[in-house]
Amino acid sequence: MKSFEALIQENIKSIETYVRYRVEAKADGEDILQDVLMQAFRSFDDLENEESFKPWLISIARNKVNDYYRKKARILELPLDEDVQYVSLNRTINYAVYETLNKLTDIDQKILYMYFWQNMSVNEMAERLNIPPGTVKSRLHNARKHFKDNYPEEELRMSKMPAIMPEYVIRKTDKEPFETKWEELMGWFLIPKEGNKLKWGMYDYPEKTLTEQFEMSCKGQTEIHGIRGVKVRAIEKAGKNTLERNFIAQLTDTHCRYLAESHEENGVEKVFTFLDGEAFLNNWGFGPENIGNETNLKCRGLIIRDNDKITCDSGREVMDVVGRYEVTINNRTYDTVCLMDIGSYDENTISEQYIDSNGRTVLWRRFNKSNWRWNFDHHEEILDDKLKGNETITVNGVVCYHWYDCITDYVI
């Protein structure tokens, strides 16, 4: 195995980026980085192989960052759960703290800043402000109360999705693919039955960072245009932005499909139903006449996969089971079948979905053909300019680049 110094040299940029992204205060970030390196050095002899070094180092950094915020939370007396992971990326607790402080008076901001960031004692604050220690205590008590009253409640219930995509291993087996009942909403992973809930996250590559996270819940029976379905609420969080969608979905013995979708744009609720033609079908329609995705999965021989080479009928959209795989993630191994989707969403998009015998998604991976385009920061770029170096597969001889992965709390 390589030396500690050599492995640190290879991975230091990733750890620096991780800490800098999670901790806005530069000095605090530097202190945390030093703590990470010191702990890693002391524990290095316990590491069994160098392939585990980077995820091991990131786990140390994650714990140090979480300790940092727990300490800050205790100072402000925030009622945070012990198992909370501060991983909402662009909207971490650090952002919420700053936003909440901006709502407070100058007096509250000043006294909290001295106590919270400068770690000054009551006596030091009294001397600096030229007021009695008793007055400092009173102001500090009031400032804490005002802070807690203004702190956003959703930040106290942060998602348990990890900030970094867990390492996983996919291994093809020689066993025959099994048949399974797959009742999840295509692309959204929730089974639309009353009472069901789900959280899931999207991880961009090569960074493997959580870029979007979703909270899904079924809200009861509803009817649209005479067809009975289940209302599904979806909360999307991407950085500081939050969007609420509502679906109406229908699950039958053979198919799962969307009947309607609604969301708000510029203060106006937009509603699309299965009767709205392409405006609905282009995003939410699947199968002939929007029959939906089949729930009874089995291998039909429509797609042939040989390692990273895939062949199929290039003239139409196709979904099929292409083999049986063991997927190991979070120290658990799942026996799965791989469902490949070529062109259902867009002719240049491909996905592979690893589904277990319970009909639940263990891992979902997205690929795009090299000519696929995406609007990054309001200007269009060819996707492979962003994803050079990522894993590739070929579909009928065309190179496709790995873009992002999705996992749910089913495997977390």
pLDDT over 90 (residue 82)? no
CATH assignment of the domain containing 94? 1.10.10.10
Mean pLDDT, residues 183-187: 94
Same domain, 177 and 288: yes
Same domain, 363 and 260: yes
Domain around 115 = 4-157
Overall number of domains in the chain: 2
Q: Which of 93, 127, 157 is the last residue of a domain?
A: 157
Mean pLDDT, the chain, as a whole number? 82
Same domain, 102 and 206: no
Same domain, 287 and 188: yes
pLDDT tens readout for residues 281-324: 888 888 777 888 899 999 999 999 999 999 987 666 889 999 99
Same domain, 285 and 142: no
Same domain, 232 and 341: yes
CA-based diameter of the chain, in Å? 81
pLDDT value, residue 96: 57
Same domain, 81 and 172: no
pLDDT tens readout for residues 124-145: 889 988 999 899 988 888 888 8
Closest-CA residue to 264 (of 292, 222, 233): 233
Residue 11 and residue 53 in contact, taking contact as beta carbons nearer than 8 Å? yes
Residue 162 lies in a domain: no
Question: DSSP assignment, residue 164?
Answer: B
**Four-CA torsion 126, 32, 168, 2, nearest 10 degrees:** -170
pLDDT tens readout for residues 252-282: 989 999 999 999 888 889 999 988 888 888 8
Structure tokens at 360: 């639940």
Residue 163 lies in a domain: no
pLDDT tens readout for residues 16-27: 877 775 676 777
Confidence of residue 368 (pLDDT cuts 50, 70, 90): confident
pLDDT value, residue 80: 41
Residue 60 and residue 40 in contact, taking contact as beta carbons nearer than 8 Å? yes
The proportion of the chain whose per-residue pLDDT surpasses 70, expressed as a percent, equals 84
Residue whose pair of structure tokens reads 């196709």 in the numeric block: 318
